[in-house]
Chain A
């Protein structure tokens, strides 16, 4: 089975540009999570969806960040405009309540904003 698929794996952009990160969760999983990993703040939850509906976006740092999940197989995290402090690794994870409850992470998207 394919795992969680994220794209792009690496993104280098200039300050002020729009960045879109994409995620395809594992088929059949009903929840999707976006995490950000930085040296200063570790792994922090940005937002999560349950059955395509945003449940908790309290971790989204500011209005420049937005996330959507138009269907069960696709989600995007958008940053507009991007800033150097947004540089981090962004992970998408999916989850199902049918098993023991662990998250399945993608390989991450490393974002560098110059």
Chain B
């Protein structure tokens, strides 16, 4: 039973365009969501997060949207840059146990120059 799903294993976009990465979750107890970015041979690094009391959080080129009724979140990167090419993991946790995150399988983003 996979509680956090990233249905697109890969995504390719042109430099300067928008990248949209999607994530679905099934556990209603999740109320804190994070995106991590991972380069080859490195550990995942935190990118942006959102709590369930919000529906949008923005940090520079990165915006995360949360649709609680649909149990869906998305990460928008605008404009996309070649350096954004990496694996992006969606993660979810409960505020009551915020350190224990359940991860999706990841989406490999390739930004073409």
Point out residues on A near B: beta carbons under 8 Å.
Answer: 4, 31, 33, 35, 42-45, 48, 50, 56, 91, 93, 95, 97, 100-108
**A101-B49, A102-B49 known; A48-B43 Cβ under 8 A:** no
Structural contact, B106 and A42, CB atoms closer than 8 A: yes
* B100-A102 in contact (CB<8A): no
Bound: A105/B93 CA distance, A: 16
Q: Check A101/B44 contact, CB under 8 A, given A42-B104, A45-B102, A48-B100.
A: no
The size of the chain B interface, using a CB distance under 8 A, is 22
For window 15-65 of chain B, which residues contact chain A by CB distance below 8 Å?
32, 34, 36, 41-46, 49
Q: Do the beta carbons of A107 and B106 come within 8 Å of each other?
A: no
Give me 24 A-to-B residue pairs in the complex whose CB atoms sit less than 8 angstroms apart, sorted by A's number. Answer: A35-B103, A42-B103, A42-B104, A43-B89, A43-B105, A45-B101, A48-B99, A93-B43, A95-B98, A97-B98, A101-B32, A101-B49, A101-B93, A101-B98, A103-B36, A103-B46, A103-B91, A103-B99, A103-B101, A104-B46, A105-B44, A107-B43, A108-B41, A108-B42
Distance between A67 CB and nearest chain B CB, rounded to angstroms: 15
Q: State A31–B100 Cα separation when bound (angstroms).
A: 9
Q: Are A42 and B43 in contact (CB under 8 A)?
A: no
Contact of B99 among A35, A43, A101, A108 (CB under 8 A): A101
Q: Please name all residues of chain B whose beta carbon is closer than 8 Å to the beta carbon of A91 when the two chains form the complex.
A: 43-44
Q: Are A102 and B34 in contact (CB under 8 A)?
A: yes
Q: Are the C-beta atoms of A56 and B43 separated by less than 8 Å?
A: no
Q: Which residue of B lies closest to A39 (CB)?
A: B105
List residues 61-113 of chain B with CB under 8 A from any CB of chain A.
Answer: 89, 91, 93, 98-106
Residues of A within 8 A of B45 (CB): 105
A43 pairs with B46, CB closer than 8 A: no
Flag if B99 contacts A31 (CB, 8 Å): yes
Name the residue in A50, A101, A108 with the highest tally of chain B Cβ atoms < 10 Å from its Cβ: A101
Taking CB atoms, residues of chain B closer than 8 Å to A104 are 46
A33 near B105 with CB under 8 A, answer: no
Question: Would you call A107 and B46 a contact (CB within 8 A)?
Answer: no
Q: How far is the CB of B98 from chain A (nearest CB, A)?
A: 4
